[in-house]
Amino acid sequence: DIQMTQSPSTLSASVGDRVTITCRASRSVTRWLAWFQQKPGKAPKLLISDASSLESGVPSRFSGSASGTDFTLTISSLQPDDFATYYCQQYNSYPWTFGQGTKIEVK
Amino acid sequence: EVQLVESGGGLVQSGRSLRLSCTASGFSFGDDAMSWVRQAPGKGLEWVGFIRSKVNGGTTEYAASVKGRVTISRDDSKSVAYLQMNSLKTEDTAVYYCTRASHAMGGDYRNYYMDVWGKGTAVTVSS
C-alpha cells in the first residue's frame, strides 16, 4: 500500500497568513493526488484533483503543487472559513489511501 | 443540484449485517463510478471500496480491512449504490460516506477522484 504522510499534524495560524501543508507519498503516485477540506460534523469537500487542478467554486487562494513524491497545498491568505482539517489522498493505485490530516487552528 | 444521500445506518450488534444505501440525483448516475469512505469517531478518512460504471465493467475494488465482508453494488435504474456489510466488528463503527468518483483525464482504470460526497450515515457496532 502507498503510505501518505502529511505534515504538520496541527498548524496554528492567523487570518491573512500564508499556509503550506505537505503530503509525501511512500512511492510515486504521478499526479494522482487530491486535497480535501473537512469541517467538524461535515463531509469532506474536494478542493484540488490531479495535484494542482482547482475544483470549480473553490477560491483561488487555494493551490496545489507537486515535486516527485512531495505534494503541497498552499492557502495564500488564510480566511476565517479556512480553519478546518485538510487531507491528501492518492488515487494512483489500490487501495486508495489518505494522509492522516492536518488541522489548521486559530493561533 | 448534484446530491448524494446515504441511509441505512444505525446501531447493530457485532457479527450482524447491515446494508447502506446511497441515492443519487442531479447527474447521470449510470455513467459514473461510486465509492465509499468511512471515518471512525475522532479519526481520519479511510477508503472502503469502489464500483465502476456498467459501461466500464461494473467491477469493484475493496480495502483489505473489509475485503470478504463487504460488497458494493449498484442499481442504475434507481440511481442507488449499496454497501452490504457482513460479520460486522466493533472497529467498523464509523460515519460512512458515499462519493461519486470521476475518472481522471489521462488516467487509467485506477485513476478516479472523489468529487461529490454525501453527508454520511453513522454506523455503530456494539459488542
pLDDT number for residue B70: 98
C-alpha B110 chain-centroid distance:
16
pLDDT score of A96 more than 90: yes
pLDDT at A53 over 90: yes
What's the pLDDT tens digit per position in B67-109? 999 999 999 999 999 999 999 999 999 999 999 999 998 888 8
Higher pLDDT, B105 or B42: B42
Query: In the predicted model, what is the mean pLDDT of residues B31-54?
Result: 97
User: Peptide bond before A80: cis, by omega within 30 degrees of 0?
Assistant: no
Which three cell numbers, joined as nine digits, stand for B41? 469517531
Determine the pLDDT at residue B107: 86
Minimal C-alpha gap between A87 and chain B (Å): 8
Residue-level pLDDT at B110: 86
Which residue out of B2, B4, B45, B119 would a mutagenesis test of the A interface target, given it has the greatest number of A Cβ atoms within 10 Å? Answer: B45
Region class of B5: left (phi > 0), else alpha (psi between -120 and 50), else beta: beta
**Do B115 and B103 touch, CB atoms closer than 8 A?**
no
Mean pLDDT (whole number) for B101-120: 93
Q: Is the pLDDT of residue B122 over 90?
A: yes
Q: What is the mean pLDDT of chain B?
A: 97
pLDDT on residue B26? 97
CB contact under 8 A, B44 and A87: yes
* Amino acid A101: pLDDT: 98
Q: Which of the residues A56, A91, A93, A100 would you substitute to probe the B interface, choosing the one with the greatest number of B C-beta atoms within 10 Å?
A: A91
Q: How many helices (H) and strands (E) does chain A have?
A: 0, 11
Buried b (16+ CB within 10 A) or exposed e, B23-32: bbeebebeeb
Taking only residues 7 to 36 of chain A, the set having a beta carbon closer than 8 angstroms to any beta carbon of chain B reads 32, 34, 36
Residues B110, A93: C-beta atoms closer than 8 Å: yes
- What would the pLDDT profile of A80-93 be if each residue is shown by its tens digit? 999 999 999 999 99
Average pLDDT across chain A, whole number: 98
Q: Could you give the CA distance from residue A25 to residue A69 in angstroms, rounded to a whole number?
A: 5
- Give the pLDDT confidence score for residue A91 in this predicted structure: 97
Evaluate whether B99 touches B4 at the Cβ level (below 8 Å). yes
To the nearest whole Å, the CA of B119 is away from the closest chain A CA by 5
Percent of chain B with pLDDT over 90: 94
Tell whether A95 is within 8 A of chain B (Cβ).
Answer: yes
Q: Report the candidate in B74, B75, B47 with the shortest Cα–Cα distance to residue B61.
A: B47
